[in-house]
Amino acid sequence: MVETLHIASGDIAGGSLVKSGLPGEVFVWHDILYDGPRCPGWPDEKYLNARAVFLEKATGDGLDRWRVLETLHNQYRKLAEAAVDKHIVLWFDACLFDQSMLAHILTCLLHLGARGVELLCVDAFPGIAPFHGLGQIQPDQLASLYGNRRLVTETQFQFAVRVDEAFATQDSGVLTELSKTTNAPLPWIPAAVVRWLQECPNPVTGLGRLEELALAAIRAGCETPSKIFTSVAAADAPPHFWGDITLWAKINALAEREPPLVRIDGPMDRLPQWESEVPINDFTIKALPNQGIE
């Protein structure tokens, strides 16, 4: 029998898949493929090194670039090996984070000549609202979805190549076209691209959507990271592409602007964006006087 490799985008979802009882190995892919320097399609060493540097910076030096580089090498090696003799099943959400990753992995699998790839993209589950992703679904519930998987078509592979190139090059014209696509072969892509375009800096304020939501929460009186997170999560339409690491980075960016829009008080002058011995709610964030940004 051909062994199955389940590829998912999140550690929580991956852990639930392991517990689901489904046969095969579970592999979790790690990268922020809607942002940062990269080339379309299968990477070269220059791209991998650039990604490692970017991800180190994106996590506030919480991840060491050499550890990241090792992880990236392992991921692509795993994919190349699986393309030869594994039954590959992709598990993804409808959010920007997952959809950009899905497009990239499909593009790489096409490059490797893989066929017979199956996809489960989950954008809702009975009884879970608001639905943000597979991490909310219990192991037995994930197992119940397995029969919904569908073979990835050639049209979907080719569409993924276009999407992956658009994210890699950050071509605003192509991204705008993709955001307006009707009957897309991967139907969750247009909404994901719309959400990414909202992160483009506002020409008046210079803030992206997530920064605007964080600033609004702070100005409304949310002063601890957990309260800010709760407020922003309620204000942003699901599914969310971001987690706490991304939100803390946006708050840090608000504090580092010139002039700053917020002040961070706590054991450090920045919120930790990765594992830290300092409890996150030892910090308070205060809005500074209006700097002309409403």
How much is the pLDDT for 64? 93
Asked if residue 178 and residue 225 are part of one domain, the reply reads no
Phi/psi class of residue 202: alpha, beta or left (left: φ > 0; alpha: ψ in -120 to 50)?
A: beta
B/e letters for 40-70, b = 16+ CB within 10 Å, e = fewer, are bbbbeeebbbbbbebbbebbbeebebeebbe
* Residue 277, domain extent: 210-287
Mean pLDDT confidence for 264-293: 88
Count of residues in the chain: 294
How much is the pLDDT for 291? 65
The answer to whether residue 136 scores a pLDDT higher than 90 is yes
How much is the pLDDT for 294? 65
Q: What distance in Å separates the CA atoms of residue 187 and residue 193, rounded to the nearest whole number?
A: 11
- β-strand partners of 284: 265
Closest-CA residue to 42 (of 121, 148, 126, 114): 114
**Worst-scoring range by mean pLDDT, 21-30, 35-44, 177-186, 283-292?**
283-292
The label of the residue with tokens 């993804």 reads 92
The answer to whether residue 138 scores a pLDDT higher than 90 is yes
Question: Does residue 203 fall inside a structural domain?
Answer: no
> Tokens standing for 132?
């943000």
Asked if residue 229 and residue 164 are part of one domain, the reply reads no
pTM of the model: 0.95
How much is the pLDDT for 290? 74
Write the pLDDT tens digit of every residue in 41-65.
999 999 999 999 999 998 888 899 9
Q: What distance in Å separates the CA atoms of residue 75 and residue 78, rounded to the nearest whole number?
A: 5
Question: Does residue 202 fall inside a structural domain?
Answer: no
Asked if residue 216 and residue 145 are part of one domain, the reply reads no
The answer to whether residue 292 scores a pLDDT higher than 70 is no
Asked if residue 192 and residue 214 are part of one domain, the reply reads no
DSSP-assigned letter for residue 184? -
CATH number at residue 16: 3.40.50
Q: What is the number of domains present in the chain? A: 2
